[in-house]
Amino acid sequence: MDEEIKITKMENSQHLDDETLFVVSQTFKALSDPTRIRILNLLCADEHSVNDIAEILDLGQSTVSHQLRFLKNLRLVKFRREGTTLFYSKDDDHIMNLLKQAIEHAAHN
């Protein structure tokens, strides 16, 4: 019986290639920064321009732009252009759900 359990566990486990490992580690890196967490949490609800994000979160525009570039490269946020203004929104519900669960976990007493 123990041998059957070992085989089942091995069949259910997944070998992670280097690219997958890199993307997963970069995703957790993105979620390890308080500023990026604040930005992602804001974008969970609605899209915002860089200026709106900076104002709402009391951050510098260059800081927000830098963090959004990092998040966009990981495909965690996306943008649309309206004239000269870029509006950012969430791009990955999986990560947003992970973030929400982490926030709920932290708030749980």
Taking only the tens place, the pLDDT of each residue in 61-101 is: 999 999 999 999 999 999 999 999 999 999 989 989 999 99
Element (H, E) at 22: helix 18-30
Write the pLDDT tens digit of every residue in 22-39: 989 999 999 999 999 999
Element (H, E) at 99: helix 93-107
> Which residue's structure tokens are 């089942």?
8
Q: How confident is the model at residue 17 (pLDDT cuts 50, 70, 90)?
A: very high
Q: How confident is the model at residue 2 (pLDDT cuts 50, 70, 90)?
A: low
DSSP letter assigned to residue 108 = -
| List of residues 6+ apart from 94 with CB closer than 8 A | none
Q: Is residue 107 scored above 70 in pLDDT? A: yes
Length of the chain: 109
Q: Is residue 7 scored above 70 in pLDDT? A: no
Nearest to 88 by CA among 57, 33, 103, 26: 57
CATH no. of 30-106: 1.10.10.10
The pTM is what?
0.80
Domain boundaries, the chain: 30-106
Whole-number pLDDT of residue 22:
92
